[in-house]
Structure 1
Amino acid sequence: MEQDQTPSEKPGHPPAQAILHELRTAENSAAHLLPKLQSMKESNPHLTLLDVGAGSGTISVSFAKLIPDGHVTGIDLNPNILPRARAVAEMAGVKNIEFLQGTVYNLPFADETFDVTFCHQVLIHIGTPWDALREMLRVTKRGGIVAAREGDYETECVWPELPKLRCFHQLMAGLMSAGGGTPTAGRELLSWALKAGAERRQIELSYSTSSYHTTSERKVCSQGLCDQLRVGSLREKALKFGLGTENDFEEMAKAWEEWAKRDDACLAMLHGEILVQK
């Protein structure tokens, strides 16, 4: 059966889930790219950067701040998220940015348009991520950079290990696989880049972690996940694929609420990162 080549978790999240995603910035979600970006900016202040799967735009906006004489384009499959991204840019006072609708499998740009092409937590959700990377390479200028950062669900660790949180982890991995995605994306990034046509000498590989452990981070994380379990697309997809019941999802949501109240609560995951020099 042909794999679904749409994201297994589409945008259009409930408010709390959007807030969770809006914790992401270039500083905490693209740190592996920033030294290279700074070096490129010194020789070319007018850099062009494409953020693929921009969502509500917080990473894109922080990139735009880092290259004030350059230009950032954010693209997302779902047009309904774009007004939020534009509002985020306006609230930040960022002018050197635009947001467009489009798919990573057929980017609406000519060959060699951008100095830097970036994605975060996009390849993990799609069926043939090497095709997406090949398309990102196509629109990147010779001498430019393609950068990606993807999570690896099998490395996720959570404390306290409440039984229903373990069930939630299994649910997420199952949903990702059922939707055509790859739960172990972080460790597979290098192989995908090679399959996309990059040579090993062109690729820098690194790993980093994301975590939620402060009171405010736990609150936002819990609220976002509870919303998804109770009314969001996660719940709808899980029911569609027969991965749980209404009662299961409510018990998982209550476990996240309990987790958020604990002073010793924390959550972390390893991410794979690549920089491909074209």
Structure 2
Amino acid sequence: MTLPKSTSILHEVRTAENSAAYLLPKLQSMKDVNPKLTLLDVGAGSGTISVSFAKLIPDGHVTGVDLNPNILPRAQAAAETAGVKNIEFQQGSVYKLPFGDETFDITFCHQVLIHIGTPWDALREMLRVTKRGGIVAAREGDYETECVWPELPELSKFHRLMAGLMSAGGGDPKAGRQLLSWALKAGGEPSQITLSYSTSSYNTPTERKTCSQGLCVPLRGGSLRERALKFGLGTENDLEEMAKAWEEWAERDDASLAMLQGEILVQK
């Protein structure tokens, strides 16, 4: 099956290797003991991270859930394109996961908590469905640490737009630095929590092109544009100027972008 055209290019370059490297050593050690691991990917979206996890645990099973049922066919298409069989997708909310207590060995989310109002409740629910001795893992961005060069004025406006959209939707753009606090509030034991930080970056010509395309599409006709106009965070002209600035940025040899990512492992 051919994967249909996407408006979320940046989401679909995500894999376990580039978005969950902090989890992979623990996953490998758990797989050595139990090859039939069960893993839940919360907020799986179009499924590319879920599919890469399924490849890493071929004798195990991956379940992906997302609040938006319309994205699930795309996730299933990604699995079929990759020839992955040990995976399934279904609709579900991180606040009320449709699974019994202690169902999964690993429960994972990526860039989900940054968008929601009470992330500690989400982590508590993720802990509920995780087996005793299992792992809850999360990686979240921190928009206040974003650094971009050159500092084009329209890109600064875009930064403020994204932070404003997260806040307007009930999220917190400074999620990455708060993961430890949220995990403790969710009931995690301090001695069982591992906190780390890494960076996401777009520095090569290919990476810059991917980043630019992934931002220009929603600025010109996606949900990002709709929400920006709805919340009064930019005019149509503002959004077009931002898109043009990202195109200019992508063509510059001296352009780069990076952001700090908070990462947490909570052993139950």
TM-score clears 0.5: yes
Give the CA deviation at 1:16: 5.3
| 1:256-275 matches, cutoff 5 A | 256-275=246-265
User: Which residue of 147, 150, 153 corresponds with 2:143?
Assistant: 153
| 1:81-96 matches, cutoff 5 A | 81-96=71-86
Give the CA deviation at 1:15: 4.6
Between the aligned partners of 1:76 and 1:30, the Cα distance in structure 2 is 18
Q: Tell me, yes or no, if the aligned pair for 2:42 and 2:65 is still in contact at 8 Å.
A: yes
Q: Tell me, yes or no, if the aligned pair for 2:9 and 2:213 is still in contact at 8 Å.
A: no
Q: Tell me, yes or no, if the aligned pair for 1:16 and 1:223 is still in contact at 8 Å.
A: no
2:162 maps to 172
1:11 maps to none
Structure 1, unpaired ranges of 5+: 1-13
1:254 maps to 244
Label 1:17 to 1:224 Cα distance change in 2 as closer, same or farther (>3 A): farther
User: Which residue of 16, 19, 22 corresponds with 1:32?
Assistant: 22
Kindly provide the amino acid, as one letter, of the partner of residue 223 in structure 2. S
Kindly provide the amino acid, as one letter, of the partner of residue 73 in structure 1. T
How many positions carry a matched residue from both structures?
265
Give the CA deviation at 1:17: 3.8
User: Which residue of 203, 219, 222 corresponds with 2:209?
Assistant: 219
Give the CA deviation at 1:74: 0.5
Between the aligned partners of 1:151 and 1:79, the Cα distance in structure 2 is 24
Backbone CA RMSD of aligned residues: 1.1
Aligned: 1:102 with 2:92: yes
Deviations 1:204-234 (A, max 9, x none): 0000011112222211211121111111111
Aligned: 1:185 with 2:144: no
Q: Tell me, yes or no, if the aligned pair for 1:86 and 1:98 is still in contact at 8 Å.
A: yes
User: Which residue of 110, 118, 125 corresponds with 1:135?
Assistant: 125
Q: Tell me, yes or no, if the aligned pair for 1:17 and 1:225 is still in contact at 8 Å.
A: no
Between the aligned partners of 2:65 and 2:117, the Cα distance in structure 1 is 19
Structure 2 counterpart SS, 1:276? strand
Kindly provide the amino acid, as one letter, of the partner of residue 108 in structure 2. F
Deviations 1:31-53 (A, max 9, x none): 11000000000000000000000
Give the CA deviation at 1:19: 2.1
Q: Tell me, yes or no, if the aligned pair for 1:16 and 1:227 is still in contact at 8 Å.
A: no
Q: Tell me, yes or no, if the aligned pair for 1:16 and 1:220 is still in contact at 8 Å.
A: no
Between the aligned partners of 1:183 and 1:100, the Cα distance in structure 2 is 27
User: Which residue of 39, 55, 71 corresponds with 1:49?
Assistant: 39
Kindly provide the amino acid, as one letter, of the partner of residue 231 in structure 1. G
Q: Tell me, yes or no, if the aligned pair for 1:50 and 1:117 is still in contact at 8 Å.
A: yes
Q: Tell me, yes or no, if the aligned pair for 1:64 and 1:94 is still in contact at 8 Å.
A: yes
Q: Tell me, yes or no, if the aligned pair for 2:41 and 2:65 is still in contact at 8 Å.
A: yes
Structure 2, unpaired ranges of 5+: none
1:23 maps to 13
| Structure having greater relative contact order (Cα 8 Å, sep ≥ 6) | 1
Kindly provide the amino acid, as one letter, of the partner of residue 247 in structure 2. E
